[in-house]
Amino acid sequence: MDRPLQIVFRDIQHSASLAKLIEERVQRLEHVYDHIIGCRVVAGVSHRGPQQAIMPLALTVEVEVPGRPLIVAKSDAKRKGEQSGLVNRVFDAIQRRLEQVAEIKKGNVKRHENALESGVVVRLFADQNHGFVEVKGGVDLYFTRNCVVRGSFDALRIGALVQITRATTEGVMGPQASSVQVVEQISAAAGEPRRTRGRRSQAAEPAVTA
């Protein structure tokens, strides 16, 4: 990394065991993505509800890479003392996001007629109802509001991971997408489209911003 790892313990005592877990997971990230500018990890207490006498641990991980929005994942421990599971859950979300971005960067996405390609939203013009998606190996693809077939155009943010189908003909803005499917949106659960919350027995998936 260009900058040293930053670990912040907020409103809790420093934990050497937790710091070691974090350092090990950061080293794994460096094998996934070839150029990480910096990583900041904040460990603190969860504030999910004032009725809890002892607040479980909360973890936020921020990773900066060149030319991309800040990638952020955060989650709370399901119970007091759950360190390893929480660290792995949050870092797994970050790692999946970095792997997806790395694939786009390397161009390891096979293209066939009418096949889906992975891309990242790089420009949005909400007042004009269109935007552009970066797909490795070509110019940015133009898309309109009506092309968004899964997810909401109004909820799109720069940096969102999408899958697109290329149009067979060019439009007034050049190469274009005929469909855009949101794969990972700002503040969506890691690796999944935004969904309605329901009753779950497991700990919630880390929220990811990218």
CA 198 – CA 188 distance, rounded (Å): 15
For residue 83, the Cα-to-chain-centroid distance in whole angstroms is 22
Amino acid identity of residue 129, one-letter, is N
pLDDT at 100: 81
Contact 202, 79 (CB under 8 A): no
CB-facing half-sphere around the CA of 189: CA atoms within 13 A:
10
CA–CA separation, 58 and 204 (whole Å):
12
pTM of the full structure: 0.56
| pLDDT score at 197 | 35
**Would you state the pLDDT for residue 160?**
85
Ordered mean pLDDT values, 10 residues apiece, the chain (210 residues): 94 93 95 93 76 73 88 82 87 89 67 69 90 82 87 84 84 84 56 38 52
Give me the half-sphere count of Cα atoms (radius 13 Å) on the Cβ side of residue 143: 31
- 12: which DSSP letter? S
